[in-house]
Amino acid sequence: MSAALARNWWAVGIRALSAAVFALSIAVFPRPSVAGLAVMLAVYIAADGALAILAGRAAGGDERWSMLLFEGTTSLLLACVI
Q: What one-character DSSP code corresponds to residue 8?
A: T
Report field, pTM of the whole predicted structure over 0.75: no
**Over its length of 82 residues, how does the chain's per-residue pLDDT go in tens digits?**
567 657 777 777 888 898 898 889 888 988 888 898 889 899 999 999 999 888 887 776 666 788 888 888 999 998 999 8
Task: Give the span between the Cα atoms of 43 and 14, in whole angstroms.
Answer: 26
